Structure 1
Amino acid sequence: MAEERGAAQRRFGMVAGETSGDLLAGAVLQGLRQADPGMACAGVGGPAMAAAGFDRWWDVSELSVMGYAEVLRAYPRLLRMRRALGDRLLDWRPDVFVGVDAPDFNLDLEARLRDGGIRVVHFVSPSIWAWRGERIEKIRRSVDHMLLVFPFEAEIYARAGIAATYVGHPLADAIPLQSDGEGARLRLGLDAGRTTVALLPGSRAGEVKHMGETFVRTAAWLHARRPDLQFVLPAAGQALYERLQETIAAMRLPDGLRLTLVQGRSHEALAAADSVLVASGTATLETALFRKPMVIAYRLAWLSHRIMRKRGYLPWIGLPNILAGEALVPEFIQDQATPEAMGAALLAQLDDDAGRQRIAARFEAMHHELRRDCAQQAAAVLMELTDGPRAHR
């Protein structure tokens, strides 16, 4: 039997699949809360969503699985979780369900909810413009409305006949147009006047497993050639902080290497940096919004990489290059992602003032294009959908 509620209370179901999704959803929830302080929202989320009054039935960490090999190991647990979540949402009867990114988990859940008469919105399009374009048909079956964070996606959905709204990117709203690098270095306990490289190996355990040690070894390689450099490594959460502490302690690093490990504070680290070594993902966009030159790296489990390579994707993996339509910053994938190669690319950036200014100008234009007050726009779409007739039963 469906749970009873007050006739006037709006309900939103929501699922975010990883740390970046939690941040995106948290921004939209703030907009919803401003529009309707009495609304209820529940499902799968993290601390940013909880801060906006979200009822976490499951924590976002339950879904933070990276790559095909890793997903295969977690698959039975994820299936059980999705089934239980679907049962609970169908009983709770939200006015609108919002799946935030995580398409491999959310689209099947969304199809079930839509068949059950619940209106479905998907926030953040799967990267059908990069690879697996056939997913557009699954999206058509599963979703009533798409909320798009990149401008070029609107034409794709218009051609497919799927209702969609470009709302801008919440990170472009959250990240200031200007940042104080010296102040950020001081707040992080760094030397305010020293050239700084930020290391961002990822926000998920699998990413840190594959890239964490390599990023630290890149710092050691750079130190041997530029001993004046300092490095800051923000860890996404307590568990990853402890894991990186153990990794660093087990390594034989050179004396004098200035490496500061901090918990969270990735935006301060980006503001503090002169250049950034970053794992492919949302953090590359954050780096661009801080207008910092970067080197992008990604390393998957062997099976995951073989499957992705066969299925095909764009010439670039980093969002800044995809948005720019060119190789604006260097990328290193799999065996290319060595300390020597990435270190040399970072040195080249640090030594090229004109190139750094050119990249910063491109990233500034990108920031303005994506800065559209996403939370308010997305909330307005969701509020409108709660008042309109259901598109599907």
Structure 2
Amino acid sequence: MASSADITVAVVAGEVSGDMLAGRLLAGLRPHLPEARFHGIGGPRMAEQGFVSDVPMDTLTVRGLFEIIPRYREIKGIQNALRDRLIAERPNVFIGADYPGFNLGLEQQLREAGIPTMHFVSPQIWAWRGGRIKKIQKAVSHMLVIFPFEEEIYKQAGVPVTYVGHPLAEMIPMEPDTAAARRALGIRESARVVTVMPGSRMGELKYLAAPFVAAVSLLAKRDPGLRFVVPMAGERQRQYFNQLVSEAGLSNVQIDLVDGQSHTAIAAADAVLVASGTATLEVALFKKPMVIAYKVMRASWEIMRHMGYQPWIGLPNILAREFLVPEFLQNAATPQALADAVWKQLEDVPGRLKLVQRFTDMHHSLLRNSAEEGAAAVMRVIQSSKAP
């Protein structure tokens, strides 16, 4: 292969989770390509590897089917401009880090122009929108998957695929230190702690923060000694959540809002009330009981609920193929239902011990050196594309 100074790797991540995944992948690639140019759209984790973001990543962040409509023209314009730039530049490989609504369309156009394309993290075709596999066949030269059962899906579809494991399984210790986490947060070790995670994006908080705060109020009435920890993604989220707490009259409830520190907050918990998404897998890897909630705009929900292929929405349940932990979706995510379910998780000691074992087995199944295995797959694609 030519000097790595002649190599360009283009990547697009549209939100925080994609930035984390792509950041680890680029960390695995950098020793192989010390002088290569990494650019596209990404966040701070990618920037740590010398990645240059041509457009701020937060310009792409949007949630829900209908929520994207007001910004469609803006986002489509970004996609078209990036497509034209990359076709002119001809990078050695393009990698879409999650964000399939944007990346798959871009990948298809780039692949048709002769540029190798990879996609890191399979869209949840096993959960809903299974027809996307046809688009993936056209768009993706090589798929990198993070769940073991996904590999066979792509092999059957004729899409080259590599299972790289889940990066979170490497980042989170097999045996989390609850006592250390509580010391870090200034919480006594004997306290009963509920961590509340209503989501990192304002779109999530809009639908889940209010029922979560109301559930906290109900739980505090059952046990005034309960301690609640709420990791916040930013100042805007903190202000919004604080306002709801104030309006609910919870000044006497022990609620600690912390900046970031989500892993510390999870490790400190006896139980977690969490918005559906990657955070549910983080909670499982920390071996904590949880209650999962999911709410979106009503119009989005009416479409999505008819497109599901399986009864689970939380990643731990999907991986287990059963309801290991309770889920409450849309109108079912009432404060009373959430509070009752969290209380049961706190009180059911035998159930908690069983969950620890199931989540430990899950952790082992997801554990690989994802940075190295993903980088090796990228290097094979680059080398193949440069072969005579």
So what's the TM-score if we normalise by structure 2? Answer: 0.96
Q: Give the structure 1 partner of residue 150 of structure 2.
A: 153
Contact 1:149 1:169 (8 Å CA) reproduced: yes
Give the direction of change, closer, same or farther, for the CA distance of 1:92–1:236 in structure 2 (3 Å limit).
Answer: farther
Q: What CA distance in whole angstroms lies between the structure 1 residues aligned with 2:316 and 2:57? A: 26
Question: What pairs with 1:1-393 in structure 2 (closer than 5 Å)?
Answer: 8-249=5-246, 251-389=247-385
SS across alignment from 2:292: strand
Contact 1:196 1:232 (8 Å CA) reproduced: yes
Task: Quote the offset at 1:89 in angstroms.
Answer: 2.0
Task: Quote the offset at 1:255 in angstroms.
Answer: 3.9
SS across alignment from 2:35: coil
Contact 1:199 1:277 (8 Å CA) reproduced: yes
Structure 2: tracts of 5 or more residues without a match: none
SS across alignment from 1:70: coil
Deviations 1:59-103 (A, max 9, x none): 221222111120112211111111112122223322111001111
Q: What CA distance in whole angstroms lies between the structure 2 residues aligned with 1:67 and 1:315? A: 20
Structure 2 residue identity aligned to 1:46: G
Contact 1:120 1:142 (8 Å CA) reproduced: yes
Contact 1:19 1:203 (8 Å CA) reproduced: no
Deviations 1:205-232 (A, max 9, x none): 2111111122122111100101111011
Q: 382-391 vs 273-282, which deviates more?
A: 382-391
Deviations 1:227-278 (A, max 9, x none): 11101111123432333334334x2323420111111111111111110001
SS across alignment from 1:389: helix
Equivalent pairs, count: 386
Task: Quote the offset at 1:193 in angstroms.
Answer: 2.3
Contact 1:274 1:350 (8 Å CA) reproduced: yes
Q: What CA distance in whole angstroms lies between the structure 1 residues aligned with 2:201 and 2:85? A: 27
Contact 2:142 2:161 (8 Å CA) reproduced: yes
- Tell me the C-alpha RMSD between the 2 structures: 1.6
Task: Quote the offset at 1:303 in angstroms.
Answer: 0.5
Contact 1:299 1:337 (8 Å CA) reproduced: yes
Q: 19-28 vs 137-146, which deviates more?
A: 19-28
Contact 1:18 1:64 (8 Å CA) reproduced: yes
Task: Quote the offset at 1:7 in angstroms.
Answer: 7.2
Q: What CA distance in whole angstroms lies between the structure 1 residues aligned with 2:60 and 2:386? A: 29
SS across alignment from 1:27: helix
SS across alignment from 1:68: coil
Structure 1: tracts of 5 or more residues without a match: none
Contact 1:110 1:120 (8 Å CA) reproduced: yes
Give the direction of change, closer, same or farther, for the CA distance of 1:193–1:219 in structure 2 (3 Å limit).
Answer: same
Q: What CA distance in whole angstroms lies between the structure 2 residues aligned with 1:136 and 1:390? A: 27
Contact 2:9 2:93 (8 Å CA) reproduced: yes
Deviations 1:89-145 (A, max 9, x none): 223322111001111111001011111221100000011111111110000010100
Q: What CA distance in whole angstroms lies between the structure 2 residues aligned with 1:305 and 1:57? A: 33
Give the direction of change, closer, same or farther, for the CA distance of 1:67–1:179 in structure 2 (3 Å limit).
Answer: same
Task: Quote the offset at 1:313 in angstroms.
Answer: 3.2
Q: What CA distance in whole angstroms lies between the structure 1 residues aligned with 2:263 and 2:6? A: 36
Task: Quote the offset at 1:192 in angstroms.
Answer: 3.1
Structure 2 residue identity aligned to 1:381: A
Q: What CA distance in whole angstroms lies between the structure 1 residues aligned with 2:45 and 2:298? A: 33
Structure 2 residue identity aligned to 1:200: M
Task: Quote the offset at 1:8 in angstroms.
Answer: 4.0
Deviations 1:332-383 (A, max 9, x none): 0011101110110111111111100101100000001101111110011111
SS across alignment from 1:130: coil
SS across alignment from 1:359: helix
Contact 1:119 1:390 (8 Å CA) reproduced: no
